[in-house]
Structure 1
Amino acid sequence: MMNNRELGYFMEAARIMNLGLASQNLNITQPALSKSIARLEKDLNIKLFKRSGRGLVLTEAGSILYQRGLMLQSSWHDVAKTMAELSNGRRGVVRVGSAGSATQFLLPEVCKRLQQEAPNVKLEIQIGMNDVLFSLLDKHELDIIIGPLVGYNKPVVQLPVTTDRVVVAASRSHPLADGPASLRDLSRYGWILPAKTVSMRQWLERIFYENHCAAPEVKIEISSLAAVPGLIASSGLLSFISENSLAEKEFASLLTRIDNNQLVMARRVGITYLQDAFLSPATQQVIDITCAYGQH
């Protein structure tokens, strides 16, 4: 019967693929590690490693056991984290990815309520566009994302909280600031936009394409439009930003919306997390507080 120690020894050997180095990390002798793996193989009645030069290679069975072992270790970490949070009055750290616009109009209220209702919970906030945040979520480096609910190629849970619209904006002195502007008018000027991998930019460029207009000429590509109202204003370039952000004081004093009904992108804003993700009590508390914002 496999025990936790033998599994732990196997996991370290499988991670490094070298018995000498693995035994040093485990603070045991190499013969002791070899005997432990041999006992495990005997108990399971199957080979887990095969030799490759001076190193090791996992067999098919070894590879499966290693992947399952990683899942077991992750599950144990989650259990230990939950117990620690419960024993410390729901203390815990929640890693939150936030879209730039949500950082301005949604996250401040969430943080305010969190301090009132769960002051022992600490947030680690990563601000970025959806492509970067989804990459971090996929690697389990984020617990949740607060921002626009966009499509993703893996099973996720998405909880709508509020709505938002993205519109064309520019400095108050821009030549198009005084009235409505057609797509052809807008295509004659330079833009500040996020990377091509961001869904918001993809939507914008698709509208120009479907209406047989030249795509926006991107003069500046930036990771967070919501953080740079001064840059948009001083550059004389057009941009495509959240209407909620545009209403904020720092934006409203510098920028104005450029009217074009074809370029109004309605979107839902809320919480996204991986469908198979472990949600600690602290994470669930942040989710509950954020969802409550949409019900007020």
Structure 2
Amino acid sequence: MLEDMRLFAAIVEQRSLNKAADRLNLSQPALSRRLSRLEAELEVDLFRRIGKRLELTPAGKLTYEFALDLRRFHGDYLQKLNAFKSTEAPVATIGASLTTLQTTLPELITAMTGKHPNLEIKAVTGKSHEIATLVKERKVDFGIVASSVVDDPGITSLPLFDDHLILVLPRKHILLERTHLEMTDLNGLPMILFAPGTWYRTLTDELFRTYKLKPDVRMEIDSFEAIIRLLSACRAGTLLPKSYLREQVLADNDLYLVRIRELEETNRTTSLIHGDPAWLAPSTRYLIEETTAYFARRTGPGIE
């Protein structure tokens, strides 16, 4: 039952039979057969097919809740079992790109340690390709990067959520006297940008080249928090990942978000990457499942 619930939860969270099969190292027909066998055993339909999409039935929603409970109980059991294996607290080492460290990791660590108080989480930072190398060399348990690593057979990449750039201005900025802003308004705009070397800055520079924009770059800083704090004082704007911009951050610094269609098209997928599943410890596999479920709950349902 535990394995069946694990497969079923993966289908729900990956929103696709094909993606779930890839993640589980199964063929899509084999996974479909396992799902059919589970439905036959439970004597209910877990999904209804609407075109190319799968939608959970009421019985499917109940079963998914049970699968989450079962996974949590199993994870708690594994964590407690570790106490008999070692006198040390369980440790998870996560590799993260610098951007991810600032935008995604704090909330994830808070959620994980809140649920598992004895869990100790360590973080190793680097560029996405460096994190991928650490994953392959088993120097970190898994990585979270703002990209997918699809061209390396030694890496499994699980999409977590999509992100895009957004224009941030001080609430009293002169541009906000206008009702509508376009990409051309960034030309010559005083801006504070993230320091070069990350996917986020690369994406920003590509955007400027594409639209032939030359903003007035006043500062380049490798801290989102520092950028946020300096915007009002410098009367400057910036482009930041939407995932970083919490309501409280904006309110505390008297900032305003400006929606520009072209910026919303600067999509980037943040992914969890791990190595050969055969080498994953049960506790690591559980944390990976917990992480993917955490982001699935944040982004909401919708299964293809």
Residues 215 and 143 of structure 1: CA distance in aligned 2, closer, same or farther (over 3 Å) = farther
1:138 maps to which residue?
133
**Gap runs ≥5 in structure 1:** 1-82
Q: Which residue of 2 aligns with 1:294?
A: 295
Q: Which residue of structure 2 lines up, in the alignment, with residue 197 of structure 1? A: 197
Aligned to 1:232: 231
Q: Kindly provide the CA deviation profile for residues 100-127 of structure 1, in whole angstroms up to 9, marking residues without a partner as x.
A: 675577545533443355433210134x
Q: Which has more radius of gyration?
A: 1
Compared CA separation, residues 229 and 189, structure 1 to 2 (3 A): same
Q: Secondary structure at the match of 2:181?
A: coil
Residue matched to 2:250: 251
CA-based RMSD of the aligned residues comes to: 3.5
Are the structure 2 counterparts of residues 182 and 112 from structure 1 closer, same or farther at C-alpha, using a change threshold of 3 Å? closer
When normalised by structure 2's length, the TM-score is: 0.56
Q: Is the 8 A contact 1:149 1:269 kept in 2?
A: yes
- How far does residue 160 in structure 1 lie from its aligned partner after superposition? 1.8
Letter in 2 for 1:291: T
**C-alpha separation in 2, matches of 1:195 and 1:161:** 25
Q: Could you tell me the TM-score, scaled by structure 1's length? A: 0.57
The verdict on how the C-alpha distance between 1:152 and 1:200 changes in structure 2, with shifts beyond 3 A counting, is farther
* Contact preservation (8 Å) 1:85, 1:281: no
User: In structure 2, what is the equivalent of residue 95 of structure 1?
Assistant: 93
Q: Residues of 1 paired with 2:145 and 2:251: CA distance?
A: 21
| In structure 2, C-alpha distance between the alignment counterparts of 1:233 and 1:277, rounded to whole Å | 51
Instruction: Kindly indicate whether the alpha-carbon contact (under 8 Å) linking 2:113 and 2:120 is maintained by their aligned counterparts in 1.
Output: no
The aligned counterpart of 2:207 is 207
Q: Structure 1 residue 216: deviation in Å?
A: 3.5
CA distance in 1, matches of 2:277, 2:203: 29
Rounded Cα–Cα distance in structure 2 between residues aligned with 1:248 and 1:273? 32
Structure 2 unaligned residues grouped into runs of 5+:
1-80, 298-304
Identify the residue that residue 184 of structure 2 maps to in structure 1.
Answer: 184
What residue is the counterpart of 1:272 in the other structure? 273
Q: Deviations over 1:172-227 (max 9, x none)?
A: 1222234332333212123222233322222232233223x234443222223256
Find the aligned partners of 1:85 and 1:148 in 2 and give their Cα distance. Answer: 34
Aligned-partner SS, 1:295: helix
Q: Equivalent residue of 1:232, what SS?
A: helix
| Residue 173 to residue 278, structure 1, CA distance change in 2 (3 Å) | farther
